[in-house]
Structures are given as C-alpha cells and as structure tokens.
Amino acid sequence: MFIPRAVARAAATAASIPLYSLTITTTPNAFTGPARGWNSFGIQANAATDPTFTFNQSNVEIQCDALVSTGLAQRGYTTCSLDSGWSVGANGDENGRIIYDDTLFNIPDLANHLHSEGLKLGVYVVPGGFIADENKTILGTNITIGSVCSGDNGLSRCNWDYTADGVQAWHDSVVSLFASWGVDFIKLDFITPGSPDNGVNLPANESLAVPAYHKAIQKTGRQMRLDISWKLARDPTDYAIWEGNADSMRTDQDINNAGSDSASFTAWATVQRAIDNYRQYISLHTSQNEVLSIYPDMDNLYVGNAAPEDGVTDDQRFTIMSHWLAAAANLILGNDLTNLDPTGKAILTNTNALSVADFAAQHPMRPRNPGTGNSNSQQLQAWIGGPDSTGKAVVLLANYGPDLGQGGFNTSLPGVQNVTVSWHDLGISGRFNIEDVWKARSLGVATEQLSTSLDEGQSLLVTLTPAE
C-alpha cells in the first residue's frame, strides 16, 4: 500500500516509546462526537454562584435560551441537561416508572420548548427501582418490583437483580416514557465499580444498569446519548461494559465547589486532579493501536464566567478548555449562561479551537512527556492527538504550576518555565507547519522540536501539519 511521504514521516515513531494509533469511532448510540451544552448542577451545587437561580422550569429555560441568544447553540452547544431534583425522588407512577415533579417541571413542555429552538433535553437518573414502589407491577408484566429488587442503596431505591425477568422490562418502560416526553440525553449516575459512596450505600457492582439502559434506548428507536458517572473503574472487564453501551463516561469526580460558601464554581487544585485522572484513563490505551468507542466526561466546564466566578485565572480558563477540547471530552458548561464575560465567549466560540474538538473526536490526545515520551504525570507536560491520515496532529504543552495536592506530579516549580518537547518525545518526525490555535497565527516551520515559555497555569495549543 502506498503511503504519502508526509504521512509516513508524521507516523514515524520514536525509537524508545512507539506512538501507536489511537482513535475514537462511532459510539454505541451512534454518535461521532462528544456532547456540548449546559448542565444545571454547577449552579445547584453552589447557590452562591447565582443566588437568583431556583431549580425549576422557568429558570432552566432562561439558562438554556441563553445557549441560543449567545450564539453557543450555533456552535454545537445544544444539550440542555437537568441534574438531580427534576423527578419525584421517593416513588414513581402506578408502574414504578420515574416521573417528573410537576410542582417544578412539565418535562414534555420543556422538551417542546427546547426542540423549537434546536436544542436537546437531558435528564439525570440513578440506578434502582423505588423502595416505595415494591408492591407495584412492572408495566407489561405481572411481576412486582419488590420481587426482583431489594435492599436500600441509600438513594430511596432498591437494587435490581439484573438476571431476573421483568428488570429489563422496567428499564424499557422508563426509557420509553422518556422518549415520549422528548428526552435526548440520559445521565446515569452512581455507577459502580468506581463511584464513591458519597454518603450512600451503593452495591459494589452496579455495572449491569448500563446495558439495561442502553438496550432500553435502542428499543425506543429514538437516538439518545447515555452518559455514565462517576470516576468509573478502568479495568478491561468493566471498561468493556462502559464502552459497549454508553457514549461517554466520567473519568473523575465532580470538580465543582459543591456546598461551598465561595461564589466560585471550581478551583485549580480540583482541575489538576481532573486532568490527571484523564491522563490515567487514556494512558491505559496507548501501548498498542486501539480504536475506542466512548468519549471521556471530565465533568462540567467552568470557563464561561469571569475568572473570580469560575474560580480560576483567565490563563487557567484557556488551559482548561484546551484540555477538554483535545481530550474529546464532553463540552457541557456548568456556568451561569446569562452572565458570560467576553473572555468566556471567546473561549467557547473560537473557530480554531472548536476545529480541534472536531479533530480530537476521532484523535484524542495522550501524554508524551518532554525528555522521555512517557505518560507519567508531570508539572511540565506534553500531549499529542493524532497524527491523522494526512499527517496532521494536535499538540498541547502545559505548565500546571505547583501541585496543589491532587495533580499527581508532586513538584512545585514556581513561575515561568521553559517547556520543550522533541519530535522524538512525541513519537513523530519530519517538517511541520506550526499554528497557535488560540491566536490563529503561524509559529513557522519546525523540524525537531516545539518550545515555549509558560507561566503557572498557562498552556500552548498548536496544530502540526506536514510541510513539504
């Protein structure tokens, strides 16, 4: 087979650590890119970020309408996702199906409102049937919930016996109801192995909830995303379940300042942890040529409001977005969309940056560290996505600043640092045109390395295209 010279050069590997092909293909529910949009939990978890917000339909519509009025929807940010609290929390309908709290929401009306604007509706669920519904009969069967669901997981729910008749029928009935309302996205939380107990009593293995929801989605004939969370197990057995049934998976815990009195959404220490958890996850898929079929969920994005409200500096906001983009992570905002600042709008709508997201949707970044090409956590870190079939690649250099306790690199280099990564480190060779993504400017042609000076929290995101 003939391989163009530029492609052959770009695909050449370093002698010590080969750069294997890593791509993402169509997900189980037929998506070819991660979700973009907004989720309510950032504001719900820390009311100080928007004291005027009450979790109900009118306030959600205000936030989601802002996806359109700010121009975000036109750039693919179309999912409007309700987090916990939209449903009746202790019981379902006459067949034990999950129903909305009609004192707060009319879900079919909300779906119609969103769909009329070109938006999509997401809802939040947790595993199990309602304990209070144990005497109710599963729709289409003569099986009671209590005969196939027992115990208490701490979320007012019993634990399904996934081998029993009727359990899939319950999931089918719930998702069919969602489909009739117009739901487009399901966030399935508290999945184990992985999810911390967080004060509840989760079963050690709740993995079979994922294929149950996937099968139910398939039966509706309606395309819905299935996002599962949180900090899920990465071993081959469990990962095969996630990848075979879900469209995205949470690689870390929540990064919001939940319950804090601070009027900020997140903190740089937590972001360092989220980046390191993505590094741990993706590094498991770099020792051979591999095709993935699931996108990472690094949690909600907090880059849209002014730096004090986001809880990070402007440099860190750009660095966060660069990592979420190049990782092919969900771009689900948790911000107050009615209060985006100019920098936030520029970050979220930058055409060059969003083209990186499109590239990464098939070619996610993985770590190739300066000086070694390995994948361990470092304060001065390098990443590469691709090369694709044309030889194009995306490279991200970062100075995360001193480890604030969860970054995984345990160093404290202060101030501006030089970050230099060689083609040997990255696993490529040849001459490349280098373009700074955020500044949309050429950095010239390079043949051996990429070098830059970065202050704490800064990063450089570039594209490499073969230069003949």
* Long-range pairs of 3-6 with CB within 8 A, sequence gap ≥ 24: 4/390, 4/391, 5/468, 6/390, 6/391, 6/430, 6/466, 6/468
pLDDT of 8? 37
Helix (H, G, I), strand (E, B) or coil at 406: coil
pLDDT of 413? 97
pLDDT digits (tens, 9 = 90+) for 287-296: 999 999 999 9
pLDDT of 376? 96
Question: Helix, strand, coil shares of the chain as percentages rounded to 5?
Answer: 30, 20, 50
One-letter amino acid for residue 285 of the chain? H
| Catalytic status, residue 254 | yes
Q: Residue 178 has what DSSP assignment? A: H
Provide CB contacts within 8 A for 54, sequence distance 6+.
none
Q: Which domains are present in the chain?
A: 1-19+368-468 (2.60.40.1180), 31-363 (3.20.20.70)
Q: Render 312-340 in DSSP notation, one character per residue.
A: S-HHHHHHHHHHHHHTT--EEE-S-GGG-
Q: Which of 50, 254, 403, 425 is catalytic?
A: 254
| Catalytic status, residue 50 | no
Q: Which of 189, 227, 247, 297 is catalytic?
A: 189
| Residue pointed to by tokens 């043949």 | 447
Sites in the chain below the pLDDT cut of 50: 1-15
